Amino acid sequence: MIMKLKEWITFVLLFIAASTFSQNNYMLFYEAPTGSGSMYTIASHGGLGNHKGAINGWRSTWSDIEYYTAGGKNLKLFYENSSGSAKMYEIDSDGTLGNKVNQTSSWRNSWTDIEYYSVNGHDLMLFYQGSTGSAAMYKLADNGGLERKIGATNNWRKTWTDIEYYRAGGKDMLLFYESSKGYAAMYEIADNGGLGRKVTETNNWRKTWSDIEYYRAGGKDMLLFYEKSTGSGTMYEVANSGGLGRKVDQTDKWRNSWSEIEYYSTAHKAKRKPNPLKEGLRKIKKIGN
């Protein structure tokens, strides 16, 4: 009887956790020329869910929008390369922007890609400058700004058109994509925040992807590929090896004017708060004993 109760409670907790994560995962579509955007929930199968709302009145000059976490909070970074300025906002529980937590006007105006990533539970930010093939990595402060530089390089290709942090098989990874050749390389992230071993590469991807975005759906790691020229999007599961798994969804009905697509979540909790799922399983284990 105890084992049946344990299995039933475990199922209920996992179901509640999966439902909560599904409801709290979003996709933002930003159109720079009009300063507008749309927010959607993410369905458990990996496609788009419900339309959560439209956005108007944003700057038409943001060149990069990045979801990240720092100090146990869900945050969103807006970067304007024409001025080297950036603003950081908290994300409210309903997925909308909350309070501004930080801002700066002293960043380089030459960054071509900014990417949040994580290693060993540490929140980090990668800055890449395509014109020089250089990159700098910073640890994030709890207030959402940069704390200190942890590494730098001048030896990367100058031709990367997209760099994306993702997870595969429980490991932290970085994906590098070069559109001119349809080439992609995936690396593990080393414990020091730099690149580790290359886990896979391919020369067979389309040369027309304008945005690649990592996201979570149904408890699985996913990658979204957006082709601006056709307004199409294709979603894949991520294999444990770090490469692509099965295709989960495809559409040809998106706008061909999106400048930025960004996954974000409100499911992240501060490290100091207990995890309800773990606490529940701990209690179940106690009952079982």
Residue 10's SS3 state is helix
- Of 11-15, 21-25, 60-64, 125-129, the least confident: 11-15
Exposure string (b/e) for 120-143, b if CB count within 10 Å is 16 or more? Answer: eeebbbbbbbbeeebbbbbbbeee
Q: What is the pLDDT averaged over residues 56-70?
A: 96
Q: Are the beta carbons of 168 and 181 closer than 8 angstroms?
A: no
Mean pLDDT of 93-113: 94
Q: Which domains does the chain have, with CATH numbers?
A: 25-266 (2.115.10.20)
How many angstroms separate the CA atoms of 213 and 215, rounded?
A: 6
150-171: average pLDDT: 96
Please state the pTM of the whole predicted model.
0.84
- pLDDT, one tens digit per residue, over 73-90 is 999 999 999 999 999 999
Mean pLDDT across 239-267:
95
- The pLDDT value given to residue 283: 31
Q: Name the strands in the sheet holding 64-70, side by side, starting at the edge strand that comes first in the sequence.
A: 64-70, 73-80, 85-91, 97-104
pLDDT band of residue 268 (cuts 50, 70, 90) is low
| pLDDT range class, residue 50, cuts 50, 70, 90 | very high
Q: What is the mean pLDDT of the chain?
A: 87
